[in-house]
Chain A
Amino acid sequence: MNQVGSVGLIAALAFAAYALVAGAVGGRLRSPRITRSAERATWGFFLMITMAVVALEYMILTNDFHNAYVAEHSNRDLLTYYKVASLWAGQEGSLLFWTWLLSIYSALVVWQNRRKNRQLMPYVVSVLMGTGTFFSLLVFFVANPFQELWANGTQAFTAPDGNGLNPLLQYHSMVIHPPMLYLGYVGMVVPFAFATAALITRQLGDNWIRITRRWTMVPWMLLGTGILLGGNWAYAVLGWGGYWGWDPVENASLLPWLAGTAFLHSVMIQEKRGMLKVWNVALVILTFFLSIFGTFLTRSGIVSSVHAFAQSNIGPFFAVFLAIILFFSVTLLFLRLDHLKSENKLDSMVSRESGFLFNNWILLALVFAVFWGTLFPVISKAIENTTVTVGAPFFNKVAIPMGLLLLLLTGAGPLLAWRKTSFQSIRRNFTVPLIVAAVAGVVMFVEGVRNLYAWMTLFLSVFVTICILGEFWKGARTRMRTAKENFAVALYNLTMRNTRRYGGYVVHIGIVLLFIGFAGQAFKTDSKGLMQEGDLLRINNYELRLSELVSGDNPNYEYTRANFSVTKNGEAFTSMHPEKRFYKASQQPTSYVAIHPTLSEDLYVVLAGLDPGTNKAIVQVFVNPLVMWVWIGGVVTLLGTLLAMVPSRVEREMAEMRQAQELIVQAGDAF
């Protein structure tokens, strides 16, 4: 099976390199047959990488421990779906998986455009496969997962059992978190490829921006989902009661997401008004760069992280690749500046356009701050030779104010009209939300919300919610009046006629819910205790009684379980069963956290272990307010994004038009 994998890898490398060259040549000569051949090579790349992935998965699932990767990252007693996940548990497998996702995206793009965008496609293929060439080089020569296990460096041998999957990764959202995240990272290559192709072919009209917007939304959504699933994993598994710790790897995934968010907003200015063209191209480049940079940060271990993958022999390769991307795309951008002139001018400082500019400003400043903070330890080490840590306190201080500004724009931006908004309009649109928010703010202050940031978050959340609901309300009212529809029908039609706008509003509601969840962090409380059976632990209005401590065993791990019965305000509430586990294959202890989630707060119980002296249970309890709203906000954001991707009536018309146009083109009438 190792040979099968290696054949797959080397063939994939050959196809990718061929497609890289053939695409460029085919585009240059405008030759249909060379282009066709390059496109077929993309299929070949996909098929060959798939073969390699199947080979590795086959070895994992059949416990073939003569393969070094399988022996390192799997074991016999691992549950099957965790075995599948072993594919992306280690360096080599992850990179192979990354490459495979790239091949899937590439194949999809080639298929989707088999009759469209014939001028762009050869270059698109070339860029996609350029990336493919880099990653298959990496997987084949530097981090090859198809290596025999060697005993004493001389003799091949088969291990009796594997070392097992890291127990921290044995959690259900961990099975889908990395694929989501990777789909997000990898997917950003598609908009980059189209942007590059448009620059090369000088087709800088509207066509590429349309394709690029759609192809950015997909990975943007997946990346966001991946980030939240990661947060969910950290919350449920790591046992410190939080979901976001500003870890370098977390930051790395946030960066392209933020840049992508900026692009998804500023792209609207270009579509509607033909402005900001250079900026949009730059944002696409930046987003892709940050995706690769994120992969690099995640995989190279240049910064220390809870995701301690730290085998850093791939670092220099990534550095070179990043430099190539940067040099190539920036040069290209400069060569095409003349073709990127703005079609319109700004009518007024107070307009939707300027709202988007401010949104971009904050998002990019945030990208810069997070980037800087993440890399600062490396820089400090290189220049000053001192080791410093840049952790959560720094990022919180920097990011929270910017986040609040963004939250404000989330509500205020959509109320500004395109081109210009007069003061009367502003007063008309902002009065109600401001009054409601002010009332809510006073109530919250009286109710005892004294943390400034939390108060501001909640105040702004109310403001934004009213703003957005007002948009729906006013829109539906207008339709009721003009189209004589009842409220529900009006609301539905309103949304479906312009899915992008109203889907976007739903996303904004989701973001508000996320922020409400974040604000809960300010009110979290915790308590600790050494407990034996029958003991009580109090936190807020909860009482936890340790009813019994049981120990047990299964093939994968040994465990100690603490059974708690919980009362709230003196009444029976629930029972909770945190565990302390010891995984046999990897010889590692972990905690299995018990969480009782409700809309207002989560009760979060960790059995940290048994005190060696007294054999009492070390118990840590957190009350985490509003955490549930983070997950709800995530789901709403996801649904809003999906809604925004439904083609609206206008978009369908345009698609029909394009199809008609394609028919003309096919008839050979290339006017």
Chain B
Amino acid sequence: MALKRSATVIVLGILLAATAAFADDARMPTVESIGNEVQCTCGGCVAPINQCPMLNCAEKAEIRAFISKEISDGKDERTILQDLSLRYGLQVLSAPPAKGFNLAVWVLPGVGLLVGLSLVVVIVRRWRSKPADAPPAPPAAYDSKVLAAMEEEMKSAGLH
């Protein structure tokens, strides 16, 4: 048990070290990178703005122009997204901000994960602490007739 735990710690340590190695440096926002977070609101598609398959979508063109203007004004990604949601409504963001009621959409999956985990733990505990029904008696405790029949059956099932 303790050994298993230390193994877990080692694995986690490796993963953490890996995370550090991959630390994301702040990227310059581009129309494409922001476009991934922005939904086309024209109603014809529900794709992010940089993936909208419609060719002459006026809405798309307008939003893209808006984003590139904000980028050239030197605003960062967060401000641009905020400005977009002020102008076009919250639905323009392809995922709602983690604020107010919308926090729920972000929090609940985590809650679900934890509730699930605690359920698993509870179930496992209950299984483990089940009054140990006597383990099956060793084969020697049985009648020779029983054992003989079993041997034969095991042979025909391919066991020696």
* Chain B count of residues within 8 A CB distance of the other chain: 55
Q: Mark B118-160, 1 if CB is under 8 A from A, else 0.
A: 0110011001101011000000000000000000000001100
Judge whether B4 and A426 touch: CB under 8 Å.
yes
- Interface CB pairs A-B, < 8 A, 14: A306-B47, A345-B128, A357-B123, A365-B116, A368-B109, A372-B105, A373-B109, A380-B102, A383-B101, A388-B91, A389-B95, A390-B95, A390-B105, A455-B18
Partner pick for A239 among B53, B132, B157, B158, CB 8 A cutoff: B53
Q: Sorted from nearest, which 10 A-B pairs have the closest CB atoms?
A: A391-B94, A369-B109, A240-B51, A394-B95, A452-B22, A346-B127, A368-B112, A388-B96, A423-B3, A387-B91
A305 to B39, CA, bound (A): 12
Residue B58 is within 8 A (CB to CB) of chain A in the complex: no
List the B side residues contacting A445 at CB < 8 Å: 21
Q: Mark B37-48, 1 if CB is under 8 A from A, else 0.
A: 101000101111
Residue A79 is within 8 A (CB to CB) of chain B in the complex: no
List the B side residues contacting A349 at CB < 8 Å: 1, 4, 124, 128
Inter-chain CB contacts under 8 Å: number: 148
Q: Give min CB distance, A621 to chain B, whole Å.
A: 13
A350 to B109, CA, bound (A): 26
Judge whether B52 and A240 touch: CB under 8 Å.
yes
Interface residues of B (CB under 8 A from A): 1, 3-4, 7, 14-15, 18-19, 21-22, 24, 32, 36-37, 39, 43, 45-48, 51-53, 55-56, 89-96, 101-102, 104-106, 108-109, 112-113, 116-117, 119-120, 123-124, 127-128, 130, 132-133, 157-158
Judge whether B128 and A346 touch: CB under 8 Å.
yes
Judge whether A365 and B93 touch: CB under 8 Å.
no
Q: Mark A247-276, 1 if CB is under 8 A from B, else 0.
A: 100000000000000000000000000010
Judge whether A365 and B105 touch: CB under 8 Å.
no
Given contact pairs A345-B132, A346-B124, A361-B120, A384 touches B53 in the complex (Cβ within 8 A): no
List the A side residues contacting B92 at CB < 8 Å: 389
Judge whether A609 and B45 touch: CB under 8 Å.
no
* Chain A count of residues within 8 A CB distance of the other chain: 63
A239 to B53, CA, bound (A): 6
List the B side residues contacting A608 at CB < 8 Å: 55
Judge whether B22 and A391 touch: CB under 8 Å.
no
Judge whether A342 and B127 touch: CB under 8 Å.
yes
A189 to B105, CA, bound (A): 31
A357 to B127, CA, bound (A): 12
A426 to B7, CA, bound (A): 10
A649 to B94, CA, bound (A): 52
List the B side residues contacting A241 at CB < 8 Å: 51
Residue A206 is within 8 A (CB to CB) of chain B in the complex: no
Residue A653 is within 8 A (CB to CB) of chain B in the complex: yes
